[in-house]
Amino acid sequence: MSQRYYPAESSSRGARRPFARAAIPAPSEAGFSDSGYGGSIADDMRNFDLNEDMPTPPRLPVLPGPSLDAPPNAHPAAPLQSKPGCLEPVDLQDDRHIEGRSVIKLASERTLTFAINQDLQEMNQTWPIHYPAVQRLEPSPMRRMQSSTADDFFTPDTSSHTRERFKPPRRALTNFDPSARSSRSGTPEPRLMSPQIAQEFNILKLDLRIGSLSQNELVHSLEKESIASLLDGKLAQSIKHLMSLRDRIEDTASKVLVTGDLNAGKSTFCNALLRRKVLPEDQQPCTEIFCEVLDCRINSGVEEVHAIYKGATYDRLDERTYEARPLKDLEDIVIEVDKYSSAKIYVEDSRPIEQSLLRNGVVDIALIDAPGLNMDSVQTTAVFARQEEIDVVVFVVSAENHFTLSAKEFLWNAANEKAYLFIVVNRFDNIRDKVRCQRMILEQIANISPSTFNDSQDLVHFVSSNAVIDGKDPDKNNDFDNLESSLRGFVLDKRARSKLGPAKSYLLNLLQDLEQLALINQNVAGRELDALRSDLARLTPKYDESVKARIAVSDDCDRQIEDTCNTVYRNSRREISRTIDEVDQQQTVPWRGVLSSFQFAEETRKVMLEMITRSVVEAEDAARRSTVSGVGAINALGLMHLKQEYVERTFRPDFMFRKKRDALGRHIQTRLDAFDFFDFDRQEKVAGMSLSLTLFSVASSRMFGISSWVDGIVQATNIVGIRNTKRLIIPAIIFGIGAAAYYLVSDVQRAIPKKLAKKIKRELAEMDYVHQNSERISKEVRKVLRFPAEELRSGFQKNIEGLKIKKEEATKRKGECEVANKYFGNLLRESREHAGVVRRYDLEAGSNH
Ligand SMILES: Nc1nc2c(ncn2[C@@H]2O[C@H](COP(=O)(O)OP(=O)(O)OP(=O)(O)O)[C@@H](O)[C@H]2O)c(=O)[nH]1
């Protein structure tokens, strides 16, 4: 039984999710298209359930079978089983091939499993993988050859490259400045990564081309996330290809692509190999679709053509994908390019197995006759030739025409991609000076494909295909026999190299790319980690300080507001009280006589109220000044702690006390009445004083002798006489009343202010005027001061929240970087280890060294 390992079957699983995020079914489950011999190219990724979660072990699983580290001799060669579609199991006799196949297969499986287990795609989601910016290089023909391999899987083995080429990477920048282009092309800007390294990124090289912008410029101009997403696509492609390679290694079929210039004799050459005229030959170009010739045993022994409809994916068991037609229709089919994309031609090769190419007893061979190359088709054929199913490319060139431009372009690419490239120089019978022709063609081959030239004995053949079937000219047949034997040798004997070589190259290239990516990203993660650590070392104390400062500053603000308001209240109260107390002491209303005393009283009342109102306004002005300095103090706190983050609002003191003006005049009634004109208190005092004097004199006369007081009266009565005394009493009383009246009238000017002030004070006291106003003023001050205080608090809040977010982000990012750093460190180590194992296997020697 062949050994298969599909990650979906693994029993253990690790903490991380798989690279591919996909369940990877066995080829048969995945709906691989039937390429005749049960070929194994997956139709597309639709065949995979991309969402299905698949357990995979975090580390390399222990594969059943021999260990890669053990010598290959110790590997029991796994007997191969036929794939679906094969008639019988193929018994591979070539031990060396089996050995090599086994080793590379295991290495491939391990690398696949390794790549899957790396969760690289998942890592790419959480930590967008950094891709190096590359420098523009002017392409030389050979460089162009290399760069054309960006997308492919058959690049040469670059295992011998030294590790010194890895230098600290440069992170792909996201800003693209077109003006910088000229400077870039002039003096190379400092790069942390050498252009050579970037050139050597091949499997994971991104195909960036928009207009005239180079890859370098695009890597610079694209967002890191966009690059990561492009890379994600590359990783998915790579996984798909790895699976396809693994299946290809398992596949016992070999495909030989015959291509070349128009009318070079490709179809004739194929017919010569089959020793039978199967494919249409014509003097004018006729083959316009790919024709694959296979052993008819695969098709239940029926010889026929399956003309595959355009856009359909061939399935031999589904007749909707093709039209089954007899072999004789082939001439029509090969030109029906609008209807068919390609054709599968099932033919009987009844020759003995040592002669038959299709039935050789070793591997199932399919021969593919490609349309002639021209400028339009060269790319299509190049893509076709690049398929991993193609083991050997036979390039047919007409000895008369040599290599055309399209031929050279194709060969440059193919020579780089395929382990073996056969060049068949056909129509050699038409050449007169054969030696000269041979020399000229070999010179050209030396330029185009040095490796083919070096092996030209086996790989370059000068033949006349049209003479083979006829068998007229034995010399010409000898040439062809040599070619056939070399071809059989490569396809059958050296299959290990022709078939496993691409797998080895691909694995090494992929591992090298992974190693490079790992190195770059480990470095980037390490540097980001250092930066984040120092950010956090700066942010944490800043955050703690900010929290402390917020509490202290908030208290300072409250204290500032409280102090200002209390001072304002006290000052207002003092000033207003003083004014009220002294309101009757400043007389400014002129006295215009008793007759105008009412007017005098009215004006005096008005003046008094005005004085009190003015004192309130002055208290408000003083409060404004205090508020200005309070606002200033709070702003100073804000600027000191928050610096430019503090938004200082414009304060307009004149807007204060606008709404609640003191309306004293409206509130104080203070009506005048008759008593306001006389100060009875004072009259009573005067009367009281005279009474006291009287009583005093009476008392003192009593003390000093009542007899003298009586004596005095008697003496006066005696002098004036009793009658006269009676007569004097009435005028005296009238005089007294008059004097009293006079006194009262003359006291009006003094009495009015006094009485009014008393009355006003009483009313103001009743309405608690002083307190009400002082409180109103201080409340307004508090209201105003709260604005900057709130501004300051919210500034602090914002600052703290900003610092908190930064701190949390930095902590989160630090965690991601730590994971990435560790992850890429492991990836780097394991990529190198795996590359070492694969590299040690020598396909020529068929063993591990
Ligand atoms: N003299 C000579 N003629 C040949 C040889 N091989 C092929 N031809 C002739 O060259 C012509 C073209 O041969 P094809 O095999 O159709 O060429 P092709 O490359 O398949 O043509 P397209 O695929 O249509 O481009 C035919 O007339 C062949 O008979 C040869 O070795 N010598």
Q: For the segment 54-86, what is each residue's pLDDT rounded down to a tens digit?
A: 222 232 222 233 333 333 333 332 322 333 333
Alpha-carbon gap, residue 257 to 220, rounded angstroms: 40
700 and 656 housed in the same domain: yes
Alpha-carbon gap, residue 111 to 239, rounded angstroms: 10
**pLDDT-based confidence at residue 23 (cuts at 50, 70, 90):** very low
211 and 296 housed in the same domain: no
293, 304, 497, 837 from 310: Cα distances, Å: 19, 19, 34, 43
- Taking the CA of residue 270 as reference, the ligand 1 atom at the shortest distance is 15
CA of 155 to the centre of ligand 1 (A): 32
53 and 148 housed in the same domain: yes
154 and 66 housed in the same domain: yes
Q: Pick the range with the lowest mean pLDDT from 45-59, 572-586, 634-648, 810-824.
A: 45-59
**pLDDT at residue 419, rounded to an integer:** 58
CA of 398 to the centre of ligand 1 (A): 9
In single-letter form, the type of residue at position 794 comes to S
CA of 448 to the centre of ligand 1 (A): 24
Closest CA to 561 of 788, 331, 714: 788
Alpha-carbon gap, residue 22 to 35, rounded angstroms: 24
Alpha carbon nearest to ligand 1 atom 14, residue: 265
H or E element, residue 598? helix 597-642
**pLDDT at residue 561, rounded to an integer:** 94
- 390-398/420-426 β-pairing: parallel
479 and 567 housed in the same domain: no
169 and 204 housed in the same domain: yes
pLDDT, average across residues 124-141 = 58
Closest CA to 68 of 116, 96, 115, 104: 104
43, 723, 733, 739 from 726: Cα distances, Å: 154, 5, 12, 21
- pLDDT at position 423 over 50: yes
CA of 272 to the centre of ligand 1 (A): 11
Instruction: Classify residue 509: in a domain, yes or no.
Output: no
Alpha carbon nearest to ligand 1 atom 27, residue: 283
Instruction: Classify residue 831: in a domain, yes or no.
Output: no
In the listed set 243, 266, 287, which residue is the last one of a domain according to the structure? 243
289 and 377 housed in the same domain: yes
79 and 195 housed in the same domain: yes
Instruction: Classify residue 513: in a domain, yes or no.
Output: no
Please write down the long-range contacts of 189-196, taking CB distance under 8 Å and 24 or more positions apart.
191/133, 191/135, 192/167, 192/168, 193/132, 193/133, 193/134, 193/167, 193/168, 193/169, 193/520, 194/165, 194/167, 195/134, 195/135, 195/137, 196/165
> How many domains does the chain contain in total?
3
Q: Pick the range with the lowest mean pLDDT from 247-261, 561-575, 660-674.
A: 660-674
610 and 664 housed in the same domain: yes
SS3 622: helix
Contact 39, 33 (CB under 8 A): yes
Alpha carbon nearest to ligand 1 atom 24, residue: 285
Instruction: Classify residue 837: in a domain, yes or no.
Output: no
Which of the given ranges, 248-252, 456-460, 492-496, 779-783, has the highest pLDDT on average? 779-783
Q: Please state, for a pLDDT cut of 90, what percent of the chain lies above it.
A: 22
The torsion region of residue 275 among left (phi > 0), alpha (psi -120 to 50) and beta comes to left
DSSP letters of 270-312? HHHHHTS--S---SS----SEEEEEEGGGGTT--EEEEEETTP
**pLDDT at residue 321, rounded to an integer:** 93
Instruction: Classify residue 813: in a domain, yes or no.
Output: no
195, 339, 417 from 138: Cα distances, Å: 11, 42, 22
Q: Please state, for a pLDDT cut of 70, what percent of the chain lies above it.
A: 61
Instruction: Show the ligand 1 pocket: residues with CB < 6 angstroms.
Output: 262-268, 281-283, 285-287, 371-372, 426-427, 429-430, 464-466
Closest CA to 390 of 200, 255, 576: 255
- pLDDT at position 249 over 50: yes
Please report where in the chains the tokens 């063609």 appear, as a residue.
441
**pLDDT at residue 148, rounded to an integer:** 29
Please write down the long-range contacts of 583-592, taking CB distance under 8 Å and 24 or more positions apart.
583/608, 583/611, 583/612, 583/757, 583/760, 583/761, 584/608, 584/753, 584/754, 584/756, 584/757, 584/758, 586/611, 587/753, 591/749
Entry pTM: 0.47
CA of 268 to the centre of ligand 1 (A): 6
CA of 425 to the centre of ligand 1 (A): 12
Alpha carbon nearest to ligand 1 atom 16, residue: 281
Handedness of CA 720, 722, 727, 729 (dihedral sign): positive
| Residue numbers of the domain that contains 60 | 7-243
484 and 538 housed in the same domain: no
Contact 539, 804 (CB under 8 A): no
- pLDDT at position 201 over 80: no
Pocket test for ligand 1, best of 258, 261, 263, 483 (most atoms within 8 A of CB): 263
Pocket test for ligand 1, best of 267, 271, 368, 374 (most atoms within 8 A of CB): 267
CA of 281 to the centre of ligand 1 (A): 6
> Could you give phi then psi for residue 236, rounded to 5 degrees?
-65, -45
> Could you give phi then psi for residue 359, rounded to 5 degrees?
-115, 80
Alpha-carbon gap, residue 648 to 287, rounded angstroms: 83
**pLDDT-based confidence at residue 2 (cuts at 50, 70, 90):** very low
> Could you give phi then psi for residue 382, rounded to 5 degrees?
-60, -45
Q: What is the ipTM of this complex?
A: 0.98
**pLDDT at residue 842, rounded to an integer:** 63
CA of 36 to the centre of ligand 1 (A): 26
CB neighbours of 324 closer than 8 A, spacing ≥ 6? 304, 305, 306, 307
- Taking the CA of residue 370 as reference, the ligand 1 atom at the shortest distance is 23
Alpha-carbon gap, residue 213 to 110, rounded angstroms: 38
**pLDDT at residue 568, rounded to an integer:** 96
Alpha-carbon gap, residue 678 to 661, rounded angstroms: 35
DSSP 490: I
Query: Which two tokens mark 30?
Result: 């995945």
CA of 467 to the centre of ligand 1 (A): 11
**pLDDT at residue 116, rounded to an integer:** 55
- Taking the CA of residue 464 as reference, the ligand 1 atom at the shortest distance is 31
Alpha-carbon gap, residue 623 to 778, rounded angstroms: 7
CA of 484 to the centre of ligand 1 (A): 18
Pocket test for ligand 1, best of 270, 273, 282 (most atoms within 8 A of CB): 282
CA of 300 to the centre of ligand 1 (A): 31
pLDDT, average across residues 805-812 = 92
In the listed set 214, 243, 272, which residue is the last one of a domain according to the structure? 243
Per-residue burial over 280-300, b if 16 or more Cβ lie within 10 Å, else e, is bbeeeebbbbbbbbbbbbbbe
Q: For the chain, first and last CA: distance in Å?
A: 27
**pLDDT-based confidence at residue 416 (cuts at 50, 70, 90):** low
In the listed set 243, 278, 300, which residue is the last one of a domain according to the structure? 243
**pLDDT-based confidence at residue 682 (cuts at 50, 70, 90):** low
Pocket test for ligand 1, best of 257, 261, 268, 345 (most atoms within 8 A of CB): 268
Contact 838, 508 (CB under 8 A): yes
Pocket test for ligand 1, best of 283, 368, 466, 468 (most atoms within 8 A of CB): 466
670, 673, 680, 681 from 584: Cα distances, Å: 15, 18, 17, 16
Alpha-carbon gap, residue 822 to 15, rounded angstroms: 14
Alpha carbon nearest to ligand 1 atom 21, residue: 263
Instruction: Classify residue 238: in a domain, yes or no.
Output: yes
**pLDDT at residue 503, rounded to an integer:** 75
Alpha-carbon gap, residue 775 to 569, rounded angstroms: 6
Closest CA to 392 of 362, 424, 361: 424
- Taking the CA of residue 281 as reference, the ligand 1 atom at the shortest distance is 16
pLDDT, average across residues 478-494 = 78
Alpha carbon nearest to ligand 1 atom 23, residue: 287
Instruction: Classify residue 72: in a domain, yes or no.
Output: yes
Alpha-carbon gap, residue 344 to 364, rounded angstroms: 14
Alpha carbon nearest to ligand 1 atom 11, residue: 283
Instruction: Classify residue 523: in a domain, yes or no.
Output: no
- 420-426/460-462 β-pairing: parallel
- pLDDT at position 24 over 60: no
CA of 267 to the centre of ligand 1 (A): 7
pLDDT, average across residues 797-806 = 91
Report the C-alpha dihedral over residues 90, 91, 97, 99, rounded to 10 degrees: 120
601 and 743 housed in the same domain: yes
> Could you give phi then psi for residue 342, rounded to 5 degrees?
-165, 175
Closest CA to 193 of 162, 213, 219, 167: 167
Q: Pick the range with the lowest mean pLDDT from 162-171, 373-382, 727-736.
A: 162-171
230 and 271 housed in the same domain: no
- Taking the CA of residue 467 as reference, the ligand 1 atom at the shortest distance is 31
CATH assignment of the domain containing 365 = 3.40.50.300
